[in-house]
Amino acid sequence: MKAALLEQIHKLTVKQIPDPQTDVGGMTVRIKVCAVCNSDLRIYHYGHNRVQLPQIIGHEVSAIIEHINGTADGFAIGDRVQITPKIPCGKCYYCKRGQPLSCTQGLSFGYQLPGGFAELMAVPKAGIDFGVVSKIEDETLTDNEVAMAEPLACCVRAQQLLSVKSGETVVVIGGGPIGMLHCRVAKASGAFVILIEHDQRRLADVDLSAVDVNIEAPDSDLPPQVMELTQGEGADVAIVACSSTRAQVQALGLVNKGGRVNFFGGLGVGHPEITIDSDIIHYRELTVTGTHGSLPQDNREALELITNREVKVSDLMSHSYSLDAIGEAFAFAESKQGMHVAVTP
């Protein structure tokens, strides 16, 4: 098969390699779309302690079942599927505590397991048993929409932890694809949504109907509009959907007493430490959370939101590249000129 192999830092090579094999009860899927996640870019630049090079990275996939080694209940060759990245071990301290995303021995596609920037990807039986494979029943969904389910699932999980409710005010800092997904999930919950984005050019072709107020604010400014829109109290929820330490500090000043803050965007290697006035958290009784990743049930909920047209994703996959042009795809994704970037084998 053809695959984009990350052979070393900053070196992605498209080459022919042997087709993947899987264990009994596992399956091989043919990739239709694999989107470029910011975590893929970080692995490309800095590596990762869970990625042993050379490796095929990528984990936001839409695929078709190509082969099943034996049987897999509920699945057949030719089924369209979406796949959750992480397969926990089920045995470690965190798995036993009901925290499978914190599993220390688990495997993830694009990390320990070969990922989606290839023509084929193997899914082991353990993953199928855990529920990482979701069958796509609605044939009207495009491959791009299916691939958007994984990042949407991460947003769904974050907002479940935040307990976003109808009538609340939610501020989303960062208007990239993840920020827009957060806006739309919050709106689907009935929230009043405020978006803060310093570069409005990337929103030119994006549906902003889920955004009640769109604020253009420089990175260095704490926008006064949030307080003006909330009678001086602040928002109920602030979500930092960008890789910015400044935005993380700012978020604490944008919520009301008892407000909830989520640090969603990872900062990457070598990021500066932040300094905060912890009295803000203490006396205003704030709840500050961090989330990353998603579980199979989050992916199924994301697919349901997309299928029912409660959350629009079709406009967020703004550019597409062939697997042969994956270097260009990564460069464009890093430029932040558009939204999400699809790679098609």
Smallest CA-to-CA distance from 154 within 239, 49, 56, 32 is with 239
Q: How far apart are CA 202 and CA 13, in angstroms?
A: 29
Give pLDDT tens digits for 106-142. 999 999 999 999 999 999 999 999 999 999 999 999 9
Inter-residue contact 25 to 60 (CB < 8 Å): no
Confidence tier at 221 by pLDDT (50, 70, 90): low
Instruction: Please indicate, yes or no, if residue 69 is contained in any of the structural domains.
Output: yes
Give pLDDT tens digits for 231-245. 999 999 999 999 888
CATH code for position 179: 3.40.50.720
Give pLDDT tens digits for 145-170. 999 999 999 999 999 999 999 999 99
Q: Produce one character per residue of 236-251: b if its CB has 16 or more CB atoms within 10 Å, e if not.
A: bbbbbbbbbebbbbbb
First and final C-alpha spacing in the chain: 10
Q: Which two tokens stand for residue 48?
A: 């990762």
The answer on 200 and 101 residing in a single domain is no
The answer on 7 and 138 residing in a single domain is yes
pLDDT value of position 219: 61
Radius of gyration of the chain (CA): 20
CATH code for position 86: 3.90.180.10
Other Cβ atoms less than 10 A from the Cβ of 86: the count is 22
Q: How far apart are CA 89 and CA 159, in angstroms?
A: 26
Q: Which two tokens stand for residue 64?
A: 């078709």
Confidence tier at 223 by pLDDT (50, 70, 90): confident
Instruction: Examine the pLDDT at 217 and tell me if it is beyond 90.
Output: no
pLDDT value of position 215: 94
Instruction: Please indicate, yes or no, if residue 306 is contained in any of the structural domains.
Output: no
- Which residues lie closer than 8 Å to 91 by C-beta, 6 or more apart? 105
List residues bridging with 28 in a β-sheet.
67, 122
Instruction: Please indicate, yes or no, if residue 299 is contained in any of the structural domains.
Output: no
The answer on 270 and 156 residing in a single domain is yes
The answer on 74 and 21 residing in a single domain is yes
What is the percentage of the chain residues whose pLDDT exceeds 70? 99
Q: What is the dihedral of CA 104, 12, 339, 155, to 10 degrees?
A: -10
Instruction: Please indicate, yes or no, if residue 200 is contained in any of the structural domains.
Output: yes
Smallest CA-to-CA distance from 88 within 79, 98, 80, 78 is with 98
Inter-residue contact 14 to 2 (CB < 8 Å): yes
DSSP classification of residue 92: S
Give pLDDT tens digits for 64-85. 999 999 999 999 999 999 999 9
Inter-residue contact 241 to 176 (CB < 8 Å): yes
Q: Which residue has the higher pLDDT, 4 or 336?
A: 4
SS3 173: strand
Q: Which two tokens stand for residue 9?
A: 């830092």
With a threshold of 0.85, does the pTM exceed it? yes
The answer on 93 and 69 residing in a single domain is yes
Confidence tier at 2 by pLDDT (50, 70, 90): very high
Q: Residue 166: which domain range?
A: 152-290
Instruction: Please indicate, yes or no, if residue 296 is contained in any of the structural domains.
Output: no
The answer on 335 and 263 residing in a single domain is no
